[in-house]
Structures are given as C-alpha cells and as structure tokens.
Structure 1
Amino acid sequence: MSLTYDPDTGLAPLEFAVTKNLAAKSPAERAELLAKPAFGTTFTDHMVHICWSLEHGWHRPSVLPYGKLSLDPAAAVLHYGQEIFEGIKAYRHADGSIHTFRPDQNGRRLQRSARRLALPELPVEHFIQSLREIIAVDGEWVPSGDDQSLYLRPFMFAREAFLGVRPAHKVAYYVIASPVGAYFKGGAKPVSIWLSEEYSRAGKGGTGAAKTGGNYAASLLPQAEAYEEGCDQVVFLDQDRNVEELGGMNVVFVYKDGTIVTPQSDSILEGITRDSLLQLAIDRGHKVVGRAISIDEWRQGVASGDIVEVFACGTAAVVAPIGELKGRDFIDEQPLGSLALSLREELTDIQYGRREDRHGWMLRLDA
C-alpha cells in the first residue's frame, strides 16, 4: 500500500495497528461462501476501527478480527440514534486488481451526514485509507463472478455512555465488508413499486439528505406493507405529494423527448450512483433536469406517453427498471425502455474495468 503525506490537505496517513484474525476462514471455506454470495449475510474476517473523542480527536486506528462490539447500555446511539453509514463496493478486475468507485464522493457524503447528525467529520483521505486497510487484509474476499463485488459498509455512531441530550463526546467509526451478488433476485429485472400515501420517510428540515439509520427505520413498516401488496419496493411522497425516493434508491424518469428528470429536494439523499448515471446520460446528449415531480405528473405522464421509462438506482442494486406502480385503488403498468439497462451496462463496465473510465471515477485499492 502506497500512502504518503498529502501537501494539499496537510494530512499524513494514519498508522493502523493490525491484529490478524487467528480464526480466519480457510481458502476452501472462503471459496464456498463466495460461490453464491447473498447480500449482507456473510462478512469477511476483519474490520476497521477508528476512535474519536472530543479530547483527542481521531485516534487509535486499527484493523481487528471481525467480531461483536461491546457497548455500555447508556451508549448515546442506543437512546438518540446518533448514527450514520455509507455503502460502497470493491470490484475485481480481469487482471485480479481491486478497485472502488468514486470513494471521494462517499467520503464527502459521510461528512455531510455527520454534520447533520452532530458527529465528527472524518477526513476524506482517512475514509479512503480505511477502505484500503480492509482490502489489505481481506482482499481475497473480493469475488470475481458476474455482478459480484465486495460491499463495504463504513459506519459511525455515538458510543459515549451519557443520557443527556447533546452531541456525544465519544464516537466510533468502523468498516465491515460483505461479498455480494445481485441485490434483487433475478438481477436487473423490472420491479413493482408500492405507493406509500400514509407514511413519510423524511420531512422538510429533517434528516432525509443524511444517510442515517433513522430514515431507514421509518421505511420498514411501509416496506412491509409493500411486500404484503406483492411489491418489491416502496416509494415515498413529500408533504406536497411530490415523489421523493424509494426505501433505499433514487428514482429517475425518462420523457419521450429524451429529457431525464430526477426528483430534487433537501430531503432526498444525494445518490452517487444516480449522479454517475445522469453524467453518462449527459455524455450521450440527454438533457438532465433536477426538479419536483408530483405523483400526478408521474401517473399522467405514463398514461399520456410523455414518460417512456422509469427506473430506480443505488449502490446496492445499481439500476432497477420499474415495471409497475401500485396504490390503494390502482395499478399502473410502467413503460419499459432501453435506456436504464443501457446506462447500467455502461456504468458496470466502467466499475469492472471493461470500459474506459473517461471521468476518472475508479480508484485502485490494492496498490
């Protein structure tokens, strides 16, 4: 691993203490687990940990055996939900090298989330180094099959034992990793979406733009409702009945004139996968617009033929064409175009090293 002093930021790399897992999986055990990776159920042998305190700042960086955490029952995260996380993947290229996709953007988004949740901001350089550190010990866990990758989950939480309502003075940052295949069963096939009109995932001035557990907890009940209705995912509206996002993905609309529209507000998480897909669409000559789009415009646009394609996108699933929108008293079949899957192919080709990386999005982690 080549890490040097960065003159632009004044930051030197952290000195990680590494403790190897003596009970690490054997090559045969690892190969068996990598044969059919399921999303978020199997984890690698190690994890990264960095402490933060009001007194000492970021300190004690380490790589440890993957294992259970010990928390005081009064830890602030258990009572006030002061917690954030990220999702990013490591990809095995044909030559065996390991790369990740736009990690600087994930690092900056983690900082924005931290700011909103009154948590310390981890420098982007240290965020990227934490990804390199886990790959340095668990690089063999990056699978090489079609649509497979190593999903990296950086997360940060308040661990101070204190029941007062204020920002915690002690915080923990971790990175764990899980080999994964396709997020949805059957791969990038059209999904059905349940329209939640009773519940909201976020409100104006709330935490919708932060990647924090509370937003996802708020989506679980309506997501369960979606499953009961035979749908794969749930879509939320804001107080003005404008489309926000799915439980864990952004939404994109393609109009018949080639214009691409994506919902934009301060209560929507900025999607790195979405922004990358939109850039690829711009490269092809498409006009991209970020604005409010109401549920009525969505339904009427599909009915009239003005909207010719709708898809969802995110780190885990990459792209999922939307084939059906279902509500209490309606079922709208969605038009299926070719743009979503074409953009998905281009993006994943870049991520897996099969196509030129014109925008410099990829970063090698094992060098």
Structure 2
Amino acid sequence: MAAFGTVFMPHMAFTTFENNHWNEATIVASDSIQLHPGAHVLHYSSTCFEGLKAFKHEDGSVHVFRMDQNLNRFDQSSRLLSLPDIDQAQVSKMILDIVEQYSADIPEPPGSMYIRPTHIGTEAAIGKAAAPSISSMLYVLISPVGDYFAGGSKPLRVLLDETGMRCAPHMGMIKSGGNYASALGPILAAKRDVQADQILFCPNGDVQETGAANFLLIDGNEIITKALDSSFLHGVTRNSILTLAADLGMKVTETQLSVDELLTRAAKPNVEAALSGTAAVLTSVGTLIHNGKEHAVGTGEHGPTTQKLRQALNDIQWGKAPDTHNWLTRVG
C-alpha cells in the first residue's frame, strides 16, 4: 500500500481569480498547473488548504463528511491571509464534481477519498512582501487513502514542549502551509532525541496542540480540551468528537489546561489522552515526555473511551449509524 496521501487521481477541479472575479471552474490534469517563479505564494506563503474525506457506504452511495465546516474554515483562512474571498458555492460544486468523477476509485471503509482544496496567491510581484496577491488559484486534489494506521497503531509518544509554539499566535486558526513548516524542525528533533511521535506545544505551560492535530484528555466521564482561540487550529474532527461525547452523556470541558494539571491527571489509572485530526481520526497517546522523564497516560495503552468515540465517528462516516447531525453530503 502506498504511503498515505501519495497517490492522486489524474484530474482535479480548478479555477482562478483574476480581474476581481472567479473564473468558471474546470476539470484539468492534476499535473497541469503553471506558476511564475515570482508568484506571491512562493515568496510570501500566501497559501491555505483544507483536508476532508468522502466515504463509500455499503449501498454504493458516496458521502462527503462535514464539507460545510471545512468550507467555512477555508473561507476564514483565505480572508485572514488576505487572499481573495472564496466562493463557497463554487468550491462546494468543485469538490462534489471531482469526487463524483472518481467515485468508482473510492476505497471501501476504513479507506476513503481524501480531499485537499488548496488556495494560493499567484501574482508575480516580489515587491509585495507587505501587500496581498491580487490574483490566485484554487484547486481540489483528491487522493484515495487506506487506514492511516494500516500496520496497526501503537499508542503515541508525545513530547511536551513549554518553550516553543507551533506557529505565531495570530496564525493558529489559519490552515496554512507555513504553520506546518514552522513546526517541522522541532518535531524532527523530538523524533531523533526522545523517539517521540509528535510534540504537544505548551507555551508557558498552556497545553495547545501538536504539529498536526488537536489534543484531548479523557478523565473518566469528562473530556477536556483547550477552549477555542486564535492561537490554534479549530479542528473539524475535534468538534465532531466533542459533539459525540456529549451525545454519549459525557461532560465536555473546554478550558485552559496546564502542563502540571495534565501530568497530575495522566497519572490516574482511568485517564486517556488522544489526538484528533482528519487523517488519523482519533489516536491514543500512551506516553507523555516532559523534562527528560516519561509519564504513562493511564495504563499507557489504547484507551477504551478513545476507541469508543473513534468508532462512533467512523460509524456515521461509513453509514453504519444514523447521521443525526446532518454531517454527510451525498455525492451525485
């Protein structure tokens, strides 16, 4: 099986913003785009993207999960980067059209079709370090993917970092390439130095997020995570898991969580921790590494509540449970 996100369908949906309006969307070859070497995105990182999935149900129908939420965030990211405002109706149609074209290529669950809308500034102007691009390009790539943990997942090892942060605080809720680039160096160092799978950024002791996922703590019947602010990404999977936790009668607490409180709670036997994101869904954290010392989270193994919440989400995505929140958009 190819590595997650490395196989692409040969065509994608594509449009451009020029002369103050969006052009009609078309389907083009996925390797067909051209950029001027002076394009704004290549010099000043005017780029944002989304990640969402389409699932094939047993009756053969295809459904995109929470597209409206991803489009809202895509719109927000574009505005906060001073890119042209997207046309949500147009992008919605682009997503549905390209997924429908390749519906026969969507793997059965636990596989899915990963969808990557991308918006980049294209104006050739290297003098615009402090000004936005007046032209842009928007395309929707799709990639058939299997289970993110095809080889079987082990509970993650996560390093708590109280000195750095994933990205500039005012950039946290933008899904932009630069945020991932800024976290890459520390993550690679953590993998090399303490064999961590990820870093949980906790500037000044404030537990925030990892390089590519939101963090959730489960203490008995309570699920705890950082309250939304501009410093970190407002995950669609995070929101979905919290909604399902409330449906199951759990207490949902969105608050400031300190490193000290996290380590104190993690020592209790019935505590679990997890990372949430589109690719990995919900993944157990077994070990927290802090100041050179390793702390098991609860038993250090996969948590039963984490697995129950993951299954509840998968069951909706796969059409095995009622979609009571209207999260699915049918294709075709």
Shorter chain as denominator, the TM-score bin is over 0.9
Residues 262-277 of structure 1: pairs in structure 2 closer than 5 A: 262-264=225-227, 265-277=229-241
1:115 positional shift: 1.3
Query: Is the aligned partner of 1:192 residue 2:165?
Result: no
Pick aligned residue for 2:209 from 233, 236, 245:
245
> Could you tell me how far apart the structure 2 residues matched to 1:87 and 1:194 are?
25
> Could you tell me how far apart the structure 2 residues matched to 1:184 and 1:230 are?
18
Residues 1-367 of structure 1: pairs in structure 2 closer than 5 A: 36-53=1-18, 55-144=19-108, 146-163=109-126, 164-165=128-129, 166-204=131-169, 206-228=170-192, 229-238=194-203, 240-256=204-220, 258-264=221-227, 265-303=229-267, 305=268, 308-335=271-298, 336=301, 337-365=303-331, 367=332
The range that moved more, 280-289 or 180-189, is 180-189
> Could you tell me how far apart the structure 2 residues matched to 1:113 and 1:306 are?
40
Note if contact 2:107-2:144 (Cα within 8 Å) is conserved in structure 1. yes
1:45 positional shift: 1.4
1:181 positional shift: 1.4
> Could you tell me how far apart the structure 2 residues matched to 1:309 and 1:142 are?
33
Gap regions ≥5 residues in structure 1 = 1-35
Could you list the per-position Cα deviations for residues 114-157 of structure 1 after superposition, in whole angstroms to 9, with x for gaps in the alignment?
Answer: 1110112223222211111112322222111x421111100000
> Could you tell me how far apart the structure 1 residues matched to 2:270 and 2:166 are?
25
Could you list the per-position Cα deviations for residues 266-292 of structure 1 after superposition, in whole angstroms to 9, with x for gaps in the alignment?
Answer: 211111111111111101111111111
Q: Which amino acid is 2:289 matched to?
A: K
> Could you tell me how far apart the structure 1 residues matched to 2:74 and 2:151 are?
31
Note if contact 1:241-1:294 (Cα within 8 Å) is conserved in structure 2. yes
1:307 positional shift: 6.9
> Could you tell me how far apart the structure 2 residues matched to 1:56 and 1:63 are?
22
> Could you tell me how far apart the structure 1 residues matched to 2:251 and 2:87 are?
34
1:21 aligns with none
Tell me the secondary structure at the aligned position of residue 279 of structure 2: coil
> Could you tell me how far apart the structure 1 residues matched to 2:166 and 2:270 are?
25
Note if contact 2:47-2:176 (Cα within 8 Å) is conserved in structure 1. yes
Tell me: CA distance 1:81–1:307, structure 2 relative to 1, closer, same or farther (3 Å).
Answer: farther
1:37 positional shift: 4.5
Gap regions ≥5 residues in structure 2 = none
> Could you tell me how far apart the structure 2 residues matched to 1:136 and 1:308 are?
42
Q: Which amino acid is 1:183 matched to?
A: Y
> Could you tell me how far apart the structure 1 residues matched to 2:152 and 2:234 are?
24
1:302 positional shift: 1.6
- TM-score, length-scaled by structure 2: 0.93
Identity of aligned residues (%): 36
Note if contact 2:99-2:142 (Cα within 8 Å) is conserved in structure 1. no
> Could you tell me how far apart the structure 2 residues matched to 1:282 and 1:123 are?
33
Tell me: CA distance 1:307–1:271, structure 2 relative to 1, closer, same or farther (3 Å).
Answer: farther
Note if contact 2:84-2:134 (Cα within 8 Å) is conserved in structure 1. no
Tell me the secondary structure at the aligned position of residue 267 of structure 1: coil
1:249 positional shift: 0.6
> Could you tell me how far apart the structure 1 residues matched to 2:40 and 2:4 are?
29
- TM-score, length-scaled by structure 1: 0.85
Note if contact 2:163-2:202 (Cα within 8 Å) is conserved in structure 1. no
> Could you tell me how far apart the structure 2 residues matched to 1:113 and 1:187 are?
34
Note if contact 1:46-1:138 (Cα within 8 Å) is conserved in structure 2. no
1:241 positional shift: 1.7
